Structure 1
């Protein structure tokens, strides 16, 4: 699917995700065989002028680094730096250095033709917000070691969201509970897919506040979407049809609490879907063993060929780099 995206689309999608400036320069040199500097400047100008960029701009530090790379490429080729690049670059240099703890990143999903039609032709910054295509903007912590881990973008969340986008009937009209809501990506997707009700839970207050903010800026608020503080050790199976969890298996310490809790939901009739990035094989093996000991079974339903999916996150950097390390499981009773 990515091959169907034009180069301007690819720059825009990567710019919104704050791709490293050096990587954007590499892309420009590969894609723009004729006058790479001029075409690179034009591509970045379009990124800067887009309404979504103006509404949710990346941090000043990122823009300064990116525009500096654009200028350096022009100088290395003896090309002129256009006013559309020189002016915003000068503005970033005049702004004081500051520690920007947060930034906005936008991610798009759908068909590449829908993306091109709506985003470049001025039909709004969130076209067809539903199954067919749309954009999701998230406020995220830039430093992994500052703030809660729930305020970052995690690969498993995008993988699970993509699964739901391709299986909308799984959650449409259903009662859904999410363990570890993170930045709110799944909450936005659930709202757009017409969930009956969704309870997004996390044990960290900063994460919950950020999740609420992201639901708000994506128009995903409403009586059907609830954000709730929940510690797993204090939780019991609440009435729900679907239980979701993305990247909740990275630490084995809470497994003795988490797995029995999952068992409660299974025996209460809920369907369980967990997406995991495999970091340590021993940790994942410990989870599987405890699942078996609890009388449950974790069925691997991972789709390895994203190219075959009708709906995809387009040029999604987390999925491009880590796709093969992600696993999707449906947890059920061992006799099921």
Structure 2
């Protein structure tokens, strides 16, 4: 019993650490701390959270906000707040006032850790892959491409849950954003990963994220890439302007997208791009002989994760896809991914749908 309780406490503290590094909302981080039934002040004073701030990988403003919430909750519960907490908070606020750069910071750094579902004799919480990401902290002003969305997390979990689908395959992502899906594709052994986006600032940030994760960015006539296991290419792609000849160099086995069905104006262009990438004569599809298994087709096939925020927009996509002879199947239930992110309380996977799309012959 004692060993089990100790292991539970260790796992709960790990969840707390990972939530902090992932930049979870302060309320979610503190909820995990309460779940551990440990005094919030003790957690902070132990240095467990504060010491996780390394270089620029955590925004000091975020850390200060959590400290402020700890003090506020202690005061509301009539607990005595330690002098150390008040002093540290005062120092942080003074430092923030002096540092004008903090007021202009529009990006924060997050570490998204996917926990393995495997178990051993020492721990049931093993980290399988960690993605280090520069994300926007100002998406309300239009910086949505540099934000982390639930569909991207869901699609990443799907990739990690069914690695054999993507292993040794050429994978092409539309609207890659921060590049999280690409990092997971590389981890499961995709033969090539092609990330694309139609926003230049998003593309620049995506390339920086690949460097943060020590992934090789393919350059023209690059010899380094041939010797590297990390095969990632980041390209500009405008759905409105791309032509058949522009895509002729790509022969993806699998096309992916997360939260790319969001604007009815973009729907016709998206459908056109999908139709060109999924043409059977571009990459002859073949199956492994297992009939009826929605996850065993080798391609060409597309997997699109989306949150249906507007039914009219989604129906517009469904109609345009059908008119273009794109066959879309909702496989959310039959191919539900494992929960690799149990510590991310803000991530609601229940709203995400996963579509498998093929081009009818």
Same fold (TM over 0.5): yes
1:325 corresponds to: 351
| Residue from 266, 272, 282 that aligns with 2:302 | 272
CA contact (8 A) 1:141 1:147 kept: no
Aligned-pair CA distance for 1:282: 1.2
Q: Distance in 2 between matches of 1:247 and 1:275?
A: 6
Aligned-pair CA distance for 1:86: 5.3
Q: Deviations over 1:96-125 (max 9, x none)?
A: 34232111111111237879x79x9xxxxx
Q: Distance in 1 between matches of 2:334 and 2:27?
A: 29
CA contact (8 A) 1:243 1:273 kept: yes
Aligned-pair CA distance for 1:272: 1.1
Aligned-pair CA distance for 1:177: 1.1
| Residue from 221, 229, 235 that aligns with 1:228 | 235
2:287 corresponds to: none
The 1:16–1:304 alpha-carbon spacing in structure 2 relative to 1, beyond 3 Å, is: farther
Q: Distance in 2 between matches of 1:301 and 1:25?
A: 35
* Structure 2 residue 315 is the aligned partner of structure 1 residue 289: no
* Structure 2 residue 165 is the aligned partner of structure 1 residue 165: no
| Residue from 257, 267, 276 that aligns with 1:245 | 257
The 1:148–1:8 alpha-carbon spacing in structure 2 relative to 1, beyond 3 Å, is: same
Aligned-pair CA distance for 1:220: 1.9
1:102 corresponds to: 107
Q: Deviations over 1:272-328 (max 9, x none)?
A: 11111110111111111111111121011114896x72x612423453x2x121111
Aligned-pair CA distance for 1:209: 0.8
| Residue from 148, 151, 160 that aligns with 2:146 | 151
Which TM-score applies when normalising by structure 1?
0.82
Aligned-pair CA distance for 1:42: 4.8
1:123 corresponds to: none
Q: Distance in 2 between matches of 1:112 and 1:164?
A: 14
Partner SS for 2:139? coil
Q: What number of residue pairs does the alignment pair up?
A: 313
* Structure 2 residue 280 is the aligned partner of structure 1 residue 261: no
Could you say what the CA RMSD is over the residues aligned between the two structures, in angstroms?
A: 3.1
| Residue from 164, 172, 176 that aligns with 1:181 | 176
Q: Distance in 2 between matches of 1:42 and 1:7?
A: 18
Q: Distance in 2 between matches of 1:40 and 1:200?
A: 40
1:124 corresponds to: none
CA contact (8 A) 1:37 1:79 kept: no
Aligned-pair CA distance for 1:134: 2.0
Aligned-pair CA distance for 1:189: 1.2
Aligned-pair CA distance for 1:23: 4.1
CA contact (8 A) 1:37 1:77 kept: no
Q: For structure 2, list consecutive stretches of 5 or more residues without a partner in the other structure.
A: 1-6, 98-102, 218-224, 226-230, 284-299
1:197 corresponds to: 192
Q: Distance in 1 between matches of 2:133 and 2:139?
A: 15
Aligned-pair CA distance for 1:178: 0.9
1:81 corresponds to: 82
2:341 corresponds to: 313
CA contact (8 A) 1:192 1:220 kept: no
* Structure 2 residue 44 is the aligned partner of structure 1 residue 41: yes
The 1:22–1:254 alpha-carbon spacing in structure 2 relative to 1, beyond 3 Å, is: closer
CA contact (8 A) 1:64 1:92 kept: yes
1:18 corresponds to: 23
The 1:164–1:28 alpha-carbon spacing in structure 2 relative to 1, beyond 3 Å, is: closer
2:220 corresponds to: none
Q: For structure 1, list consecutive stretches of 5 or more residues without a partner in the other structure.
A: 121-126
Q: Work out which of the two has the higher radius of gyration on C-alpha atoms and give 1 or 2.
A: 2
Q: Distance in 2 between matches of 1:113 and 1:87?
A: 43
CA contact (8 A) 1:108 1:314 kept: no
Q: Distance in 1 between matches of 2:331 and 2:234?
A: 28
Greater displacement, 258-267 / 69-78: 69-78
1:72 corresponds to: 72
Q: Distance in 2 between matches of 1:13 and 1:296?
A: 40
The 1:46–1:205 alpha-carbon spacing in structure 2 relative to 1, beyond 3 Å, is: same
